[in-house]
Amino acid sequence: MSEFWNPYASLAGRQRRILGVGSVLAVLLVWSVIAASGLVSSTKLPAPWEVVAALSYLSWHEGQSMLLTATLWSVGRLLVAGVLVIAIGIPVGICMGAAPRVNAALSPLVDPFRSAPVVALLPILVMWLGIGETMKIAFLFIGAVVYLIPMVRDAIQAVPQNYWIGARDLGATPWECIQRAVIPMAMPRIADAVIVAFSVMWTYITVAEYVNARQGLGQLIQNARRFSAWDQVFAGIMVIIALALATYQGMVWLKRRLYPWETQL
């Protein structure tokens, strides 16, 4: 216990897992007890086993998997929006970080949206783009890109000046300095920005699929809610959390593989 308050102490992997699994089990236990005691009616709080049953029903029923179809649709939309976010957001962020004039011109257009109610844009997007896929992709794109661009800019600006000066002194043109010294050094933090962008998109996916979705996890939840199938609502939320977590872990793993030198700075 002498090591209890110590942010630098490292826990053994086994101990960390026991504590983590233990706290999840504790929540499940409390949840089960409340559900079984009948204190809260099962229409308001489905029991854990009811959620598991709903998951299995959604995964496979009458020769088809509603869950798989919905997941593929949501993942597809997320990927399309993600590719757009990366293809547009990273170059814009790099230009803003690398050229103060571009930053001065664009930051009043980008920065305020970080704290803007992006969800409130949904009706406007529907008005402009209709209720089809374009609107959903555009919503995910806007929601994520307003986080990505400032983070990429900050990543560029955080590269120590001595790399720029050093390259310049060796005869690099200003653009070569950006391209060959600054951007490579900013890559780990740009990767962090992409990871955040994908997390943001997972939180917005249900909102994006709220309007007139015929497929997708958001639609699945929305539909279940309409029929008061709360076990399925819970199941849907858990699937989204699991997918978002898997995306995050996968991307963090990939980032560590690509930029192993980051921790050595």
Partner 1 sequence: MTGGVGPAATVTPAAKPLSVVLENIVQEYPAAGGGMTRVIDQVSLRFDRPGINMLLGPSGCGKSTLLHMLGGVRPMDVSTPSAGQVLIDGVECHGPHDDAVMVFQRYANRPDLTVFDNVAFPFRLKLWKSLLPEAEWRQRVADMLKAVGLADKQGLRPAQLSGGQNQRVALARALVLRPRILLMDEPFGALDAQTREEMQGLLIELYQSRPCLVVFVTHDVTEALVLGDRVIVLSTQPARVADDFVIDEPRPRSAAWQRSRETQALEERILNQLHQASPGKGQVRVTV
Binding site for partner 1 (CB under 8 A): 160-163, 165-173, 176, 180-181, 184-185, 187, 259, 261-262, 264-265
Report in angstroms how near the CB of residue 183 gets to partner 1 at its nearest: 11
Q: Min. distance of Cβ 187 from partner 1 in angstroms?
A: 8
Cβ contacts of residue 147 below 8 Å, gap of 6+?
A: 114, 193, 196, 197, 200
Q: Whose Cβ is closer to partner 1: residue 54's or residue 167's?
A: 167
Q: Kindly provide the residue ranges of all beta strands, DSSP E only, lying in 32-185, ordered along the sequence.
A: none
Minimum Å distance from CB 167 to partner 1? 8
For the chain, how big is the Rg over CA atoms in Å? 23
Closer CB to partner 1, 21 or 258, in the complex = 258
**Which residue number, 227 or 261, has a Cβ lying nearer to partner 1?**
261
Nearer of residues 168 and 237 to partner 1, judged by Cβ: 168
Rounded (5°) CA angle 161-166-169: 125
End-to-end CA distance of the chain: give it in Å, rounded: 33
Q: What count of Cα atoms within 13 Å lies in the side-chain half-sphere of residue 22?
A: 6
State the DSSP code for 180.
I
Q: Indicate the residue among 9 and 265 with the shorter CB distance to partner 1.
A: 265
Residue 133 is given by DSSP the state H
Q: Min. distance of Cβ 8 from partner 1 in angstroms?
A: 21
d(CA 234, CA 247): 20
Which CB atom, from 31 or from 259, has the smaller least distance to partner 1?
259
Please, what is the minimum distance in Å from the beta carbon of residue 201 to partner 1? 28
| SS3 of 202-221 | HHHHHHHCCCCCCCCHHHHH
Shortest Å, Cβ 62 to partner 1: 53
